[in-house]
Amino acid sequence: MYPRLSQLAADLDSGRTTSVALTEQALAKIADASGEGARVFTSVYADQARAAAQAADTLRAAGLRRSPIDGLPVSVKDLFDVAGEATLAGSVVLRGKPAAAANAVVVQNLINAGAVVIGKTNMTEFAYSGLGINPHYGTPQNAWQRGVDGGRIPGGSSSGAAVSVTDGMACAAIGSDTGGSVRIPSALNGLTGFKPTASRVSMKGVLPLSQYLDSIGPLAASVECCAIMDAVLSGADYFAPIAHPLRGLRLLAPTNVVLDGMDEQVGAAYQAALGKLSAAGAVIVEQPVPAFGELAAINAKGGFTAAEAYAWHRGLIAENKDGYDQRVVSRILRGKDMGAADLLDVIHARQRWIANTEAQLDGFDALVMPTVPVVAPRIADLQASDDAYYAANGLILRNPTLINFLDGCAISLPCQQPGDAPVGLSLAAPGGQDRRLLSIARAVEGLLAA
């Protein structure tokens, strides 16, 4: 459905298009007053993008190609430092703060690879929600049922990142994922989103939410696209993922927690995906994962995110609490009541939790479950009611955050039928199994598309 990076690169190599042409197309879509550009981007680097595109075309004409994404427009979340500009993280309270002295490592890696960094994308303020609603810069509408009754949420916190790709404003996007912020908007917008093992990609120059849980990953058109972007972000050599054999693949499908509150559309798409996997020879074992039922109690006082967010924000809150999205600051303030002993309890509980979960996963190739249990809710419904907002936020974050707490890797694949609401199928594995998971995902992607 969306252009793949390898095809775009082939078009550039053959002369069927140019980086300048791709960049001008992206900039025109961003500037289109009838589109979502004003809500998708908080900064647009038009002059720099045009210069980078011209440089890419000049180098390609001389036979030089810096990477598989050389000359391709890419967006970055408004959480990453860009030299000379204050990093706002979807907020207004950081306006006027010192500009970044250097690019974030991931931004510099993109530039070194020849990517055309087109701009910074909108997000949930300070990345502290899975819905993508932002009262300061507006909320980008999901392409599904856009304009109907005020539109559907894009998912968050990497909201603008997802819509930048679905609307052709970027060929791929870079987001952060603390509890699903790459995978949720990917699932709700029909994209592929990859959350790597946290330590795989440098967080230097990235405004943190939780240093225990934060990770950085791509939102793109396919598994191959995500693998290409992951190699650039991590500074690793790129190896195209080879589809893992489906016959004999052992998948654990949890029956507790992750299916609670699942709506009819997600349930139908999920069961259809499991049916295809079984028919292809995969062995799907449905059983409860006891550890999943324990996580809510472990994080009852707010967990890592509340404690760490409050530590980072307490000065800013004292300075300008009213400038925050009040639904975000209320969650940050939960960390005020967490003491050192409470945080240590979470740290120690996490060690045991990971050990128990990995023990149950031994003998399986991956976990499989819905990325989120519901399709994208209406923006207006969540804006109108705090109760509806918090209920939807908890439900949408619930499944993805299990993998962040596991310190694992995960990918969300679109699994809906053409024309239906976007639904994501999640594949996940313990930390360090990134490349193997991408190979499994490549095979599952091909099956779902058949």
Find where tokens 């295809």 sit: 276
Angle at the Cα of 230 (from 228 to 232), degrees rounded to 5? Answer: 75
Tokens of 199: 């330590």
Say whether 181 is catalytic. yes
Say whether 91 is catalytic. no
The one catalytic residue among 19, 91, 157, 215: 157
The one catalytic residue among 19, 77, 195, 222: 77
Find where tokens 């390609």 sit: 60
Distance of alpha carbon 157 from alpha carbon 180, whole angstroms? 8
By CB atoms closer than 10 A (0-12, 13-18, 19+), residue 5 is buried
The one catalytic residue among 19, 181, 215, 234: 181
- How are beta strands 172-176 and 216-220 bridged, if at all? antiparallel
- How are beta strands 283-287 and 216-220 bridged, if at all? unpaired
Angle at the Cα of 42 (from 37 to 45), degrees rounded to 5? Answer: 85
Say whether 77 is catalytic. yes
Structural contact between residues 399 and 289, judged by C-beta atoms closer than 8 angstroms = no
Q: 142-146 long-range contacts, Cβ below 8 Å, gap at least 24?
A: 142/188, 142/189, 142/376, 142/422, 143/167, 143/189, 143/190, 144/188, 144/189, 144/190, 144/375, 144/376, 144/421, 144/422, 145/421
Distance of alpha carbon 445 from alpha carbon 450, whole angstroms? 9
Residues tagged active-site = 77, 157, 181
